[in-house]
Amino acid sequence: MIRDLLNVFLLLAAALLVYRYHRAIIAAFRRFDARNVQRIAEQERAKTDPLAHFRETLKTAEEQVETVSEVTVSDERLGTPVTRYVFEGERFATRDEAERVRAEKIRAIARSYYVDLPRALAERRAPESVRGAASSNPPKPSPQNPPPQDPGSNVVPLRRGNETLH
């Protein structure tokens, strides 16, 4: 009895909350949908763009680098407040100079990715052992004579006796 009353109360409270905030909830769903539509459109454009991989690499590298921040300090000579720009703990007089250093850092990260890419691809192709490390032993070839199959099976054998199917 009391359990049923609590369930009804919780249901009504949830319904009132949804009704109270339904505009905000619908707006959030619309923003979510718009971001998904934009992401899908970008993925479709990237399929035909030969430079899309480089853009994605630069975008990923940019996420790894902090932004240029603006601080107000007193001038060493005059004592008046001046604006300085900080990137990775280093102060710069102009935003352009700080952004130039930041762009160089982003390019260095992206460049190191492409330097390491051939080695990563070679490791990916290497056979892996049970523990995940590359093993020096190549994978074992399949047996020459496969076990007899069930007559009702729809699996086509790759080899019959000493004969290879082509």
Domain residues for the domain of 63 are 50-127
Does pLDDT of 21 surpass 60?
A: yes
Give a yes or no: residue 119 inside a domain. Answer: yes
Q: Are 74 and 81 in contact (CB under 8 A)?
A: yes
- List of long-range contacts for 91-95, beta carbons under 8 Å, 24+ apart: 92/68, 95/68, 95/70
The answer on 40 and 5 residing in a single domain is yes
pLDDT of 66 > 70? The answer is yes
130 pLDDT exceeds 80? no
Same structural domain for residues 17 and 69?
Answer: no
- Residue 155 domain flag: no
Asked if residue 74 and residue 41 are part of one domain, the reply reads no
Domain count, the chain: 2
In a domain, residue 150? The reply is no
2 and 70 part of one domain: no
- 111 and 82 share one domain: yes
Question: Within a domain: residue 81?
Answer: yes
pTM over 0.95: no
Residue 36 backbone dihedrals phi, psi, to 5 degrees? -65, -45
Asked if the structure places residue 141 within a domain, the reply is no
- Note whether 54 and 33 are same-domain residues: no
Share of the chain above pLDDT 70, in %: 75
